[in-house]
Chain A
C-alpha cells in the first residue's frame, strides 16, 4: 500500500507539472501582449518595454516557465491585469464558497443517488425502478443552469421559501443553509442521476453473484444478505463514481455560481475570461485542475483500501 501511495504521488507531481505547463503556455498562445494589456492603450513603447522587463516577459520561455513554477510553489500566482489584486488573494477569498457548494452538492448527489439506485435494484422491474430509471436519465440530461433558474422561479419567486441567490452567510447558520439548498440541488442533480445509475447496475450485478446465492441458500437473513454481502461489494465501483463526480462538481460550480450569483472561483473565472484577465484565469484553472487530480488520487487510494483484490503492481 505504501508503494502504491508513493507511486501515485510521483505520478501526481508529474501531472501537476504538466498542468502548470499547459496553463502557463495558454497565456503565451493567447492573442495580445500582456505588457500592452497592463500598460493600456496610452502606454508608450518605452513603458511597454519597461513592463516586459519588470515582469520578465523578455526572458526565454523556459526561464519564464521556471519562474512561474517557482511562484506556484511559493503561492505567488501573479496579479490581476484588471484590479491589480494578487491572484492568490482573490482565489483564497472566493474558494470557500466554491468548496462549500461542491461539498453540499456531493452530499445531495450521494444521498439521492445511492438511495434511489439501491431501491431500484432491490425492486428490479417494478414501477419505482422504471420511474427512477427515467428520472435518472432525465437528471443527466437537464442543463443545470436551466434547472437552477426553474428552481429559483418555483422556490424563491413563487413560493418564497428560499432566497434567490448568493452565499453571503456562513453555511452553519440557518440562513446560510437556506442559501445553499437551491445551488446544491441544482449542481447535485446530474451527479445524483449518474450515481443512481451506477448504484443500480452495481447492485444488480452483485445480487446475481454466486456468493449471494450461496448466502441465501445457507439461510442467511435477507437483511444481512443485502447489508453485508451485497451493499459492501456494490459500493466499490460507486465510490469511484462518487469521487470522480466530486471532481466534476468542482468544475460544475462555475455554471451554478453564475446562476445564483455566488462569489466563487468559477464566477471569478468567467468575469476574468470576459475581461481577458489571463493571470486570474490561469490561477483559477490551476486551482480547480489541481483539486480535481488530488480528488482522483484520493479516490484511487481509497479504492485500493476498500477492495483488497485491487493491485496496482
Chain B
C-alpha cells in the first residue's frame, strides 16, 4: 500500500469519525428540545401507521356498508365512527397516513433533486448563476398554491400530479438555499486545494461542496414535508388531488363537509390528523435548525 493511500484512508476514517461525532452532538441537542420530542413521537406514530396499516385496522378503508352509515365515535367495532357510506373512519385515517407520508416524501425528494442540482450549478458556475436565478425568481413570482394549481390545470387532477406540482413549487426555495451555501463553501481553502490538485468539478461539487451544505438542506426538507402534506390535503380538498374513494385526509374532509351538521367527526378527525402531522414536521424542522446551528437560537 502506498503512503498516499494510507494517508487518504486515515483521513477518510477521521472524517467519518468526525461526522459521527457531529451527528451524535446534533441528536443530543435535538433531544433536549421537548417540542422536538413530541414532534418525533408523532412522526414515529405516522410511520408505524404507514408500515403496519393492515395489522392496525379491521376493515377495508373503501368498503361501504350503508346500514352502518354515520355512526358516532365510540361505537362498538368502529371506535372513530363511520362516514356517510358506512366506511370505518379509523381504517381510512390509517391508510390516509400512508398516502400523506408517501406524497410528502415523493414531493420533497423530487423538489430536492431539482433544487439541489440547480442550486449547486448556480452557486458554483458564475455563468449559469444569472440564468438559473432568474428562472428561480420567475417561479417565486407565483404564490405556491397558485403554481401548483396551474401545473394541475395542465397535467390533470390526480395524486401523482399533486406530487409533481408540489415538487416544482419546492424547487425555487431549495435552489436558493443550496446556492447560498455553495457560495460560502466554494470560497473555503480546501475547495481551492482540491481545484489545484486537479479534481474534476463533479467530484468537487458532489464530494466536497454538497456534504457541507447538508445542514440547511435537512432543515428545508423537514419543514417542506409539513408544507407538502398540508398542500396535498388542501388540493385534495379542492378536488384537484386524490379522487374518491381514496382515503386521503383532505379528500375525507371535503367529503365530510356536507355531513358536518349531523356527523362532525367526519371532518374533525382527519383535520386533527393533518394538524398533528404538520405540527410535528414543523417543530422537528425548527428544532433541527437550532440543533444544527446553535448560534441561531435566540432563546438560549
Contacts and interface: CB of A to CB of B under 8 A. Distances in A.
B291 interface: no
Given A18-B138, A141-B278, A141-B282, A250 B143 contact: yes
Contacts of B292: none
A218 B253 CA distance: 58
B103 to A, nearest CB: 14
A224 interface: no
Interface stretch (A65-73, A143-151, A234-242): A143-151
A186 B267 CA distance: 16
A288 B143 contact: yes
Interface residues of A, number: 49
Contacts of B299: 125, 204
B138 A15 contact: yes
11 contacts: A15-B141, A141-B230, A141-B276, A143-B234, A145-B253, A150-B271, A251-B143, A255-B234, A270-B239, A281-B153, A292-B146
B253 A140 contact: no
Interface in B250-292: 250, 253, 257, 260-261, 264, 267-268, 270-271, 274-276, 278-279, 282-283, 286
B141 A281 contact: no
Contact of B141 (A141, A152, A269, A292): A292
Contact of B275 (A18, A30, A134, A138): A138
A137 B279 contact: yes
B261 A157 contact: yes
Contacts of A273: 149, 152-153, 157, 240
B154 interface: yes
A141 B233 CA distance: 12
A166 B35 CA distance: 39
B287 to A, nearest CB: 11
B240 to A, nearest CB: 7
A278 interface: yes
A126 to B, nearest CB: 13
Contacts of B143: 247-248, 250-252, 288-289, 292
Given A137-B283, A248-B143, A255 B275 contact: no
Given A145-B253, A150-B267, A289 B237 contact: no
Contacts of A142: 275, 278
Interface in A244-301: 247-248, 250-252, 254-255, 258, 269-270, 272-274, 276, 278, 281, 285, 288-289, 292-293
Contact of A143 (B142, B240, B250, B283): B250
B14 to A, nearest CB: 37
Interface string A113-149: 0000000000001000000001001101111111001
Interface of B: 35, 134, 137-138, 141-146, 149-150, 152-154, 156-157, 226, 230, 233-234, 237-240, 250, 253, 257, 260-261, 264, 267-268, 270-271, 274-276, 278-279, 282-283, 286, 298-299
A5 to B, nearest CB: 18
A19 interface: yes
A273 B279 CA distance: 30
B144 A251 contact: yes
A185 B146 CA distance: 21
A120 B279 CA distance: 20
A150 B146 contact: no
Nearest to B267: A149
Contact of A141 (B145, B270, B279): B279
B186 to A, nearest CB: 24
A165 B239 CA distance: 19
A19 B141 CA distance: 7
Among A29, A31, A142, A276, the most chain B Cβ lie within 10 Å of the Cβ of A142
Nearest to B230: A143
Contact of A270 (B35, B238, B283): B238
B150 A281 contact: yes
B135 to A, nearest CB: 9
A-B pairs with the 8 shortest C-beta distances?
Answer: A251-B143, A146-B271, A141-B279, A141-B278, A18-B138, A30-B154, A273-B153, A145-B237
